[in-house]
Amino acid sequence: MGSNKLKGKDLRKIKFPSDKVKSMVSGLLSRYYKHASKEEQIKLINDLLEDPHSFLEDETWGKVAEEMVITDGEDQQDNLEIELTSEPKPYRVFGKKFIDQSAIQQMDLAMKLPIAIDGALMPDAHGGYGLPIGGVLATANSVIPYGVGLDIGCRMSLTLYDLPENYIDRNNYQLKTTLKENTHFGVGKIQDTDEDHEILERPEFRSTELLRQLHGKAQKQLGTSGSGNHFVEFGNVVLEEGNSLGFPAGNYMGILAHSGSRGFGATIAGYYTKVAKDVCKLPRGAQHLAWLDLDTEAGQEYWMSMNLAGDYAKACHDVIHRKLAKSLGIKPLTKVENHHNFAWKESMANGKTMIVHRKGATPAAKGKLGIIPGSMTQPGYIVSGLGEATSLNSASHGAGRKLSRTKAKSSITGSMMKKLLKQERITLLGGGVDEAPMVYKDLEQVMGNQQQLVKTEGKFYPRIVRMDKG
């Protein structure tokens, strides 16, 4: 690493929570950040220490973050209060031959929970933490904070504009400038100015000590986006004949965003996961699936906080779309949006009300509109749900990863990525090789495995994409 290597004196200036964390961080920096500057490495460490919850699902830093925020305490193996069933309850897997075994094993484990009623695995599924990404789990009057995930209310939002097909080509420079000036990305990222939105006046912010403490962070991060696969992009939209949006078939301009509830939601998730683990003793390996009974005070607190975080995520999207439209002087026709990390109370076919966790899955009740994004070089889909009971009214939330971030960084070069994007006429602002199009599965293949789940209403073709580090 040469002059880029952090020396002992550099690390001694940083207050690590333990020598083990310090050693883990040092090892990862040496292995994966050889070409990063000292300043970049120190910023990364500080972001990790400030908000470890935001890193829990990161391929590289997840284990360090987990070491920091979740401690198992004394060994619980000799005093378990809750036993799992010997066999998983049956559940439907869509596109099974394209799903890695780790995701299926994680879903099997979730279906052994005594509160599990039904489940499904979407065709873009891959391994995650707790529930697999693409996992859908229905439970009885109980919510699993980690089954919702850290990025509560992570969602898609697409605004359509009645603009000519060549609008993006004719205004390429202006659109790039607009994205750079009006979007903000990254862990811990805040804005210089406070954004105004009614979400900040919600009474829930005064209902618990945690929410009171988080109000300032929520205010500063309103309208910002996270790192990883979060994005804001301009693209061309093609609507199908007879689409459910109620607009003529043809070409439109679209703004598509993907992000969630930022540090606000991550802190809620981390806090209530720990509360759940304190009251719900599960075997080692299943502890991330600890739940809260919705008849308890903690369960009600989490449910209220989760819904507030979901509304906050929507507010962030509202601010992003409003600022971009105002900067360009354009007026929207309509917006299509949906969460894909959340839990809902839903009545199923048998008439029972269940808590349906969708961790990386799109709600697809009959007629419900949603967005299933592609991977920069592949178009995303505007869909309407077909209300398929065996999928718990759900569909995929994207193409799904086929390469982990670590594998992507070791096998894909920046020049390979740039060549592909240039060939496909995609302008990328920011982003790294861990989000290169080739790390994702073929979305067309994924869509082919869920034809009974959703109907295609249109497609979104990315043209100018903004991500973290741009």
Task: Give residue-wise pLDDT tens across range 172-191.
Answer: 999 999 999 999 998 877 77
Residue 318 placed within a domain: yes
Provide, rounded to the nearest whole percent, the portion of the chain with pLDDT above 90: 71
Cα–Cα dist 5/14, whole Å: 15
Task: Give residue-wise pLDDT tens across range 54-98.
Answer: 677 677 888 888 788 753 343 444 455 789 999 999 999 999 999
Predicted confidence band at 43 (pLDDT cuts at 50, 70, 90)?
A: confident
Predicted confidence band at 335 (pLDDT cuts at 50, 70, 90)?
A: very high
- Is residue 100's pLDDT more than 60? yes
Same domain flag for 249 and 389: yes
**DSSP three-state, residue 391:** helix
Give the pLDDT score at 75: 41
Same domain flag for 153 and 44: no
- Is residue 9's pLDDT more than 80? no
Give the pLDDT score at 76: 40
Predicted confidence band at 470 (pLDDT cuts at 50, 70, 90)?
A: low
How many separate domains does the chain show? 2
**DSSP three-state, residue 5:** coil
Q: What is the number of other CB atoms lying within 10 angstroms of the CB of residue 36? A: 16
Q: What are phi and psi of 464, to 5 degrees?
A: -125, 120
Same domain flag for 191 and 326: yes
Decide: 121 and 104 in contact? Cβ < 8 Å.
yes
Residue 128 placed within a domain: no
Residue 108 placed within a domain: no
Same domain flag for 292 and 435: yes
Give the pLDDT score at 426: 95
Residue ranges making up the domain that contains 24: 2-50
Task: Give residue-wise pLDDT tens across range 406-456.
Answer: 888 889 998 999 999 999 999 999 998 999 988 999 999 999 999 999 999
Q: What's the rounded mean pLDDT across residues 163-172?
A: 95
Task: Give residue-wise pLDDT tens across range 336-366.
Answer: 999 999 999 998 767 789 999 999 999 999 9
For position 164, which CATH number holds? 3.90.1860.10
Q: What are phi and psi of 256, to 5 degrees?
A: -120, 130
Predicted confidence band at 2 (pLDDT cuts at 50, 70, 90)?
A: very low
Cα–Cα dist 126/360, whole Å: 10
Residue 122 placed within a domain: no
Q: What is the number of other CB atoms lying within 10 angstroms of the CB of residue 26? A: 16
- Is residue 142's pLDDT more than 70? yes
Residue 207 placed within a domain: yes
Cα–Cα dist 363/345, whole Å: 12
Q: What is the 3-state secondary structure (H, E, C) of 263-315?
A: HHHHHHHHHHHHHHHHHCCCCCCCHHHCCEECCCHHHHHHHHHHHHHHHHHHH
Residue 454 placed within a domain: yes
Give the pLDDT score at 300: 97
Mean pLDDT of the chain: 91
Comparing C-alpha atoms, which of 323, 370, 317, 361 is closest to residue 342?
361
Residue 78 placed within a domain: no
Question: 275-288 b/e with 16+ CB inside 10 Å = b?
Answer: bbbeebebeeebbb
Provide, rounded to the nearest whole percent, the portion of the chain with pLDDT above 70: 96
Question: 338-357 b/e with 16+ CB inside 10 Å = b?
Answer: bbbbbbbeeeeeeeeebbbb
Same domain flag for 32 and 166: no
Residue 160 placed within a domain: yes
Cα–Cα dist 459/320, whole Å: 21
Q: Is 193 exposed, middle or buried (0-12, 13-18, 19+ CB in 10 A)?
A: exposed
